[in-house]
Amino acid sequence: MKNFDPLESVLGRVDDLDQVNLGILVTRLARERRLLNTVFNSLREGILVIDSEGTLLYANVSAISLLGFKPKDIGTTSLWKAVPDLARTIRLDAAGHLAEATGISREAELTYPESRLVRIYLVPFDEDVHGQQLPRYAVIVSDITLEKTRTQQQIEDERVRSLIQLSAGVAHELGNPLNSLNIHLQLMRRQIQRMEESALRSKVEYSLEICRNEIGRLDSIISHFLEAVRPRPPDFRDLDLVAVLEESLEFLGPELEGSGVSVDVELRAAVPPVQGDRDQVKQVFFNILKNARQAMNRGGVIRVRALVDDEYVNVQIGDTGSGISDEDLPRVFQPYFTTKDGGHGLGMMICERIMRDHGGRIGIDSRRGVGTIVTLQFPQKHRRVRLLEADA
């Protein structure tokens, strides 16, 4: 049964209309055309009509924007130009009709005018042109970049959560035998100390010390790992960043002096207090200063600057070390990425997490063979209060 089309019934009697009614009909058709164009152009999805060659017969504003066409391309340019893979994946018969009569759906990656993922849905229909039925296709184009990104992120987050839970359990269980080994090594050391001085005793003591050092290193790796995967919330208190920084430098003083590294500290203005967890912020300073020292083989300078603006306290820690390559720089905050022999690759990830928990940010600028500058941005106390009020 053929669908009833009121417009077709009116057009069928057009020869019977006088000039006045014909003008009314033309005005009505123009109004309806403007309405349809307004509706189509307000849609976020791209709407197109193409022929069997892929030539654009119609395209709304979203379609032109998504696919990188221009209005002048309508009637002259093929959809296959924007999505060449689509032409290869659909099946047309000799007459240009779609093999899947009910329509097809495809996903494609576009590189122009920008990189994005789209879902394309084609629905076939026939258009009567001078008594001839010509194949046409209505095409709906949806931008699914954000949808895909979110889905992939959710899958990745779930995978990481499962891996972290498993790893945390394994790390926790490893702590018990390590403690047991450490206790027995201490007992062995006491027994060895009762032995007479000899070459054998010296050799055993040397081996024992290696075992103790290795157990200590494993214990440190496990502690850092558990700190990374099971972080505790910050205990916010008024915090003097300069005092915490001085404590960190004092703690590392002997190591810096032994390596011939000098420290240059410059405070351009009085540094206001911030809200922070003293232990966690000290850990950030310690990790970055330690990295700066290790980036310089012998000698070199660590420069510390504190800059204050209306909203933030910015602490910059720079070194004159080997620097970080452009390829490695984006990976610095990834877990287990390290360029140091014996490094566990968790320090910078922990620093980023602590800064994020404090409402701040961490950034790195580096040039190979020149050095690295790490910038820590702490929100001032009054700004953090405003942020907390807004969250509430």
CA angle, residues 132, 138, 143, in degrees to nearest 5: 165
Arithmetic mean of pLDDT over the chain: 81
3-state SS of the chain: helix, strand, coil percent to 5?
Answer: 50, 25, 30
Q: Which residues contact 299 (CB under 8 A, 6 or more apart)?
A: 259, 260, 261
Token pair belonging to 379: 């929100």
Tell me the mean pLDDT in the region 154-168: 68
* CATH fit for domain 43-143, picks 3.40.50.300, 3.30.450.20, 3.40.50.10300, 3.30.230.10: 3.30.450.20
pLDDT at 98: 60
Supply the pTM of this predicted model: 0.47
Contact 344, 338 (CB under 8 A): yes
Tell me the mean pLDDT in the region 47-63: 91
Exposed/middle/buried for residue 24 (C-beta within 10 Å: 0-12, 13-18, 19+): exposed
Quick one: which of 336, 340, 357, 359 has its CA closest to 348?
336
DSSP secondary structure letters along 306-318: EEE-SSEEEEEEE
**CATH match of 237-391 with 3.40.50.300:** no
What are the residue ranges of CATH 3.30.565.10 in the chain? 237-391
How sure is the predictor about 370, in pLDDT bands with cuts at 50, 70 and 90? confident
What are the residue ranges of CATH 1.10.287 in the chain? 149-229
Q: Reduced to 3 states, what is the DSSP secondary structure of residue 295?
A: coil
What are the residue ranges of CATH 3.30.450.20 in the chain? 43-143
Distance CA 120, CA 105 (A): 6
pLDDT tens-digit map of 190-212: 888 888 888 888 888 888 888 88
* CATH fit for domain 149-229, picks 1.10.357, 1.20.1070, 3.30.2000, 1.10.287: 1.10.287
For the cut 80, the answer to whether the pLDDT of residue 356 exceeds it is yes
pLDDT greater at residue 5 or residue 267: 267
Sign of CA dihedral 130, 132, 133, 139: negative
